[in-house]
Amino acid sequence: MTNPVNVSRIGGQIGPLAVLRQGPQEPQVEGKDFKSVLLDSLNQVNQLQREADQGVQRLLTGETQNVAEVLAAVNKADIAFDLLMEVRNKLTDAYQEIQQMRV
C-alpha cells in the first residue's frame, strides 16, 4: 500500500493557499525606531558640546595652542545644536497642527 504524501511534513504549505492559511503578517522593519534615532541624536549633540567645552578649557588654560581646532569643534557643536533645535521646532509645529485637527 502506498501512503499519501503529506506536504506539511516535507516543508510546509506551498503556493498561494499557504499565504491565505497563515493569515496576515506584520511587515518586517529593519533599523531603529524614531525614539532611538532622536535619543541618539541628542546624545551626539551633547557629546559635541562637551568636546567643544573641553577644547575651550584647554585653550584657556594653555594646554593647547591650536585655536583652529577649538574653533572648528565649537562651530561643529553649534551647527549640530541649531539642527537639533530646528528638528524640535518642526516636531512642535506638527504636534500643534495635529492638536488643531477636527475629528
User: Considering the domain boundaries, does residue 39 fall inside one?
Assistant: yes
Q: For residues 10 and 31, what is the distance between their CA atoms, to the nearest angstrom?
A: 34
Q: What is the mean pLDDT of residues 63-71?
A: 93
Write down how long the chain is.
Answer: 103
* Total tally of structural domains belonging to the chain: 1
Cell numbers of 61, please?
A: 588654560
Domain that holds residue 62: 32-99
* Nearest residue to 54 via CA among 43, 64, 41: 64
pLDDT digits (tens, 9 = 90+) for 8-38: 444 444 555 554 455 566 677 678 898 999 9
pLDDT digits (tens, 9 = 90+) for 75-98: 999 999 999 999 999 999 999 999
User: Considering the domain boundaries, does residue 23 fall inside one?
Assistant: no
What is this structure's pTM?
0.65
Cell numbers of 23, please?
A: 493569515
Who has greater pLDDT, 74 or 11?
Answer: 74
User: Considering the domain boundaries, does residue 94 fall inside one?
Assistant: yes
Cβ contact 70:55 at 8 Å: yes
